[in-house]
Chain A
Amino acid sequence: MQSVMMKSKTACLLILLSLFFAGIEVNGQEQEERDLLLLQQKALAKKIETLRREQDFLLFEKALYATDSKYLIINLRTKKGQLKYQNRVLKDFRFTASASLANGVLKTGALTLTRKKEDPGQKHVLLFGRSLVIQWQRPARSPYAANAPRLSLTQGDLQSIFYAVEEGTRAYVVR
């Protein structure tokens, strides 16, 4: 009788121990999966953000292809820009960017030209609200939107673009 009780005690103990260790293993695997899922989500969130940005740009171009307006594409990474009309490139230009642009102050996306300013000294300035100023390379300081990020173009390029665009012209900033 006693040996039977001993046997059942041992059996119970073994069952409990195996269940205990199985539980630990399950918890460990779950934590591993959780970490993996979180990593995956992080990567997916980044990809979604990139795809959304790309889609925003593609939708911008699609919309502008159907209009009768010229527009600007400004690539901050390559420091190159384009003046476009529908799906045609009218002009390529290069620019230098102010330090604030390098700090990522200017977000990617669409901007609207709010003001064209032509000073008596033939200094042309294009103002996109307080978000961006496009100016001639020469002036170190400009009275317009003093703290706004700036792009500087050669006088010839700026002059060509200045007379090609009008207030309300759209621009798209890409990185």
Chain B
Amino acid sequence: MQTRKKVILAGLLFSCCVMTPSSARAEEAAKPGTIDALRDQTRAMEQETAALEEENRGLRKMLKDMDDGDIYLVVDTESNRLTMRQGNRILLTAVVGTGSRQFVKEETGRNWYFESPTGALTVLGKERNPVWIRPDWSYVEENMPVPPVDDPDRIVRGVLGKYALILGNGYKIHGTKFTDLLGTHFTHGCISVGDEDLEKLYRTVKIGTKVYIY
């Protein structure tokens, strides 16, 4: 009789030790802080990490693809500096002249404000030995009578340097005879550049190159 009791006791102990962990496993998984919950959390975090890495890779690629690697020009009209850039590289920094920010008024009421254009512009053309067609303001500024539009007197050679990059609306990046004034606001809106820098620009810049003026 005593032996039977002992066998039963041993059986109960056995079932306690062996059966409890396996039968409670399912219940344990639902409880926060249990080993299974920790495993699940870790797995979820690994998946989140992988998803974020994948998304960031895609975004980086998208941004990289948007960078065409083209050369572009930047003109800072405050510091009167022009930089030629390619990505994060600076290929050239030039001291330039920009719009004088002065008003000229004609007796008839016409007036002009000499400011360099700002925004994203494009090199529309390239010229060698550019010719300056004197606009009306040039005569008004010097208190001279304004000649007819097709007057040959308006054609002036040799004042814009050897080269010019055409930006449209009468604006250009060109040379100047007034090299002492480079680094100041002295032009009528065009960007004036020294001879050496102008040659480098002319040789490097292509039609279609972007010019950012601010």
Query: Residues of A at under 8 Å CB distance from B?
Result: 5, 8-9, 12, 15-16, 19-20, 23, 26, 30, 33-34, 37-38, 40-41, 44-45, 47-48, 51-52, 54-55, 58-59, 61-62, 65, 70, 83, 85, 87-92, 156, 159-160, 162-164
A61 & B10 in contact (Cβ 8 Å cutoff): no
Most buried by A among B41, B56, B63: B56
CB atoms of B85 and A89 under 8 A apart: yes
CB distance from A112 to the nearest CB of B (A): 19
The B1-29 residues at the A interface (CB cut-off 8 A) are 3, 6-7, 10, 13-14, 17-18, 21
B45 touches A44 (CB 8 A): yes
How many B residues touch the partner, as a band?
A: 35 or more
Residues of A within 8 A of B42 (CB): 37, 40-41, 44
Q: Is the CB of A19 within 8 A of B76?
A: no
The residues of B that contact A91 with a CB separation of less than 8 Å are: 74, 76
Distance from A102 Cβ to chain B, minimum over Cβ atoms (Å): 26
Knowing A20-B17, A37-B38, A70-B214, say if A87 contacts B79 (CB, 8 Å): no
Q: Is B79 within 8 A of A156, CB to CB?
A: yes
B68 nearest CB neighbor, chain A only: A87
Shortest distance in angstroms between B209's beta carbon and chain A's nearest beta carbon?
12
Interface residues of B in 76-108 (CB under 8 A from A): 76-79, 85, 87-88, 90
Contact A8–B7 (Cβ < 8 Å): yes
Tell me whether B124 is interfacial, beta carbon within 8 Å: no
- Report the nearest B residue to A47, measured CB to CB: B49
Contact A160 B63 (CB under 8 A): no
Contact B45 A41 (CB under 8 A): yes
Instruction: Check B202 for interface membership: any CB of A closer than 8 A.
Output: no
Query: Closest CB of chain B to A2's CB: distance in Å?
Result: 10
**Min CB gap B42→A, angstroms:** 5
**Chain B residues within an 8 Å CB radius of A83:** 214
14 new A-B contacts at CB < 8 Å, known A34-B35, A48-B52, A88-B72? A15-B10, A16-B17, A20-B17, A47-B49, A48-B48, A48-B49, A51-B56, A54-B56, A61-B63, A62-B59, A89-B87, A90-B74, A156-B79, A159-B78
Min CB distance A163 to B, Å, is 5
How far apart are A56's CB and chain B's nearest CB, in angstroms? 10
Map CB proximity to A onto B101-122 as digits: 1 under 8 Å, 0 otherwise: 0000000000000000000100
Are the C-beta atoms of B38 and A51 separated by less than 8 Å? no
Report whether A59 and B59 are in contact in the complex, using a CB–CB cutoff of 8 Å. yes
B60 near A5 (CB under 8 angstroms)? no
A15 and B49 contact, CB distance less than 8 A: no
A contact residues around B60 at 8 Å (CB): 58
For A40, give the chain B residue with the smallest CB separation: B42
A16 and B10 within 8 A (CB): yes
Complex contact A19–B17 (CB within 8 A): yes
Instruction: List residues of B (185-214) whose CB comes within 8 Å of A's CBs.
Output: 210, 212, 214
For residue B21, give the distance in angstroms from its CB to the closest CB of chain A.
Answer: 7
Contacts of A41 in B (CB 8 A): 38, 41-42, 45
Residues of A within 8 A of B212 (CB): 85, 88, 90
B30 surroundings in chain A (CB, below 8 A): none
CB of B39 within 8 A of CB of A37, answer: yes
> Which residues from A are CB-within-8-Å of B59?
55, 58-59, 62
The interface residues of chain A lying within 8 Å CB-to-CB of B88 are: 89
Nearest CB in chain B to that of A13: its residue: B10
Q: Closest CB of chain A to B168's CB: distance in Å?
A: 18
CA of A114 to CA of B38, assembled, Å: 46
Q: Is the CB of A88 within 8 A of B85?
A: yes
> A19–B45 contact, CB under 8 A?
no
